[in-house]
């Protein structure tokens, strides 16, 4: 079955430095990430006629004013309103625009300039339900909310803190091969278990480190892609689901369970055909939910999966090969692009010391935390073109 994104190629990926402090504006981070991706593709800004942008700190500016700053005249624009699900959604919307002839070259970028204080301030007024019903109760931000999800997963399925620790320790091992990761020291199980308590049962290494940075990829029409050298990727399938399941905040904190059958049917492959997963890892429990929702393991068994499967770059099924947000850092809305950047970089064969053997992989996104859960979920299956 032909992909709904036939005639579209991913041709480059770029990332800025991830730092705890920087004077760079969000606009500069978006420009720098996009420039790096274009250079990787062998293209320039003068060839770009589409722009997809996600950033929590961009308002009152928007994607149109970013285009103005860069000096772009565009025929397609997208602004991500779906938190960490936006990168994949923007990529899919851009691919449809290219497929339909609306544009030829699109930069899909996300960036933010967060420190811990500005991150927490943003979360307190993230949306109406958080501002009106959760912040006044001292809900503890995202840490408090996902502590409840973690406890619920442990009680329902028998997972232990060591199971979440195995996941975090493996991602740190991956990050040590990534020169752009914030964390440079190994993480042991003892370090994980004895870390500072944050919101029971979460401790320090269960939580992301807010930081400053940006990520981008470049999509091009097949006509443009034929003029470029080097490997290219195609999007086999991409899906998004919002508010799943509707009116039930206690069942599943993500929509992958509702989209997985469509995703694999459209991609023409199965979970066993994947060579890696780049998951949205704001908290380990959400990666467990994604592993199950995407059919990589059975419901309620992700903790058993990480007990028996090496998920490092040396392992049978690598996950978050650059360290993910948990060890590379969460640059705000760029958290929804770091996995896309990493997946594209791996499939292009440009991941350096952390390179894995791969032909196809899945990337997933999650975001827009509201009353009790994130509302937006996304996933895509990418494949190297031979």
Q: Are 214 and 7 in contact (CB under 8 A)?
A: no
Instruction: Name the strand (E) or helix (H) holding 287.
Output: helix 284-293
**In 25-159, which ranges are E strands?**
50-54, 76-79, 105-113
Q: What is the pTM of this model?
A: 0.94
Helices (H), 4-125: 26-41, 63-70, 86-99, 116-124
pLDDT for 374 equals: 86
DSSP-assigned beta bridge partners for residue 50: 76, 106
DSSP-assigned beta bridge partners for residue 362: 277, 381
**In 243-322, which ranges are E strands?**
277-278
pLDDT for 45 equals: 98
pLDDT for 118 equals: 59
Per-residue pLDDT 10s for the chain (386 aa) are 568 899 999 999 999 999 998 889 999 999 999 999 999 999 999 999 999 999 999 999 999 999 999 999 999 999 999 999 999 999 999 999 999 999 999 999 999 987 656 556 666 556 666 666 666 666 657 888 899 899 999 999 999 999 999 999 999 999 999 999 999 999 999 999 999 999 999 999 999 999 999 999 999 999 999 999 999 999 999 999 999 988 777 677 899 999 999 999 999 999 999 999 999 999 999 999 999 999 999 999 999 999 999 999 999 999 999 999 999 999 999 999 999 999 999 999 999 999 999 999 999 999 988 767 888 999 999 999 98
């Amino acid at each position: 079955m032909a992909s709904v994104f036939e005639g579209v190629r991913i041709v480059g990926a770029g990332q800025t430095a991830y730092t705890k402090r920087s004077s760079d504006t969000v606009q500069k981070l978006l420009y720098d990430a996009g420039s790096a991706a274009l250079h990787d593709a062998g293209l320039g800004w003068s060839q770009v006629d589409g722009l997809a942008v996600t950033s929590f700190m961009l308002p009152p500016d928007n994607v149109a004013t970013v285009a103005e700053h860069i000096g772009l005249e565009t025929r397609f624009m997208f602004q991500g309103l779906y938190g960490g699900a936006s990168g994949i959604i923007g990529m899919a919307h851009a691919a449809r625009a290219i497929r339909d002839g609306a544009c030829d070259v699109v930069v899909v970028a996300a960036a933010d300039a967060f420190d811990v204080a500005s991150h927490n301030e943003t979360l307190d007024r993230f949306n109406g339900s958080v501002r009106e019903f959760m912040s006044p109760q001292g809900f503890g931000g995202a840490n408090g909310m996902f502590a409840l999800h973690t406890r619920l997963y442990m009680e329902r399925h028998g997972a232990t803190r060591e199971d979440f620790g195995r996941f975090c320790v493996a991602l740190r091992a991956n990050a040590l091969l990534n020169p752009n990761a914030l964390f440079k020291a190994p993480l042991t199980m003892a370090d994980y278990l004895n870390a500072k308590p944050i919101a029971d049962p979460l401790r320090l290494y269960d939580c992301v480190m807010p930081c400053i940075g940006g990520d981008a990829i470049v999509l091009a029409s097949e006509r443009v892609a034929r003029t470029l050298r080097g490997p290219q990727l195609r999007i086999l399938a991409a899906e998004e689901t919002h508010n799943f399941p509707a009116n039930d905040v206690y069942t599943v904190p993500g929509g992958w369970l509702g989209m997985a059958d469509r995703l694999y049917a459209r991609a023409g492959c199965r979970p066993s055909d994947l060579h890696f997963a780049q998951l949205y890892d704001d908290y380990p429990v959400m990666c467990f939910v994604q592993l199950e929702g995407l059919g990589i393991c059975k419901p309620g068994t992700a903790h058993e999966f990480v007990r028996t499967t090496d998920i490092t770059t040396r392992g049978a099924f690598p996950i978050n090969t650059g360290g993910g947000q948990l060890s590379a850092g969460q640059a705000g809305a760029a958290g929804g692009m770091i996995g896309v950047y990493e997946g594209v970089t791996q499939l292009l064969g440009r991941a350096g010391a952390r390179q894995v053997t791969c032909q196809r992989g899945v990337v997933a996104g999650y975001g827009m935390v509201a009353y009790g859960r994130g509302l937006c979920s996304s996933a895509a299956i990418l494949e190297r073109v031979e």
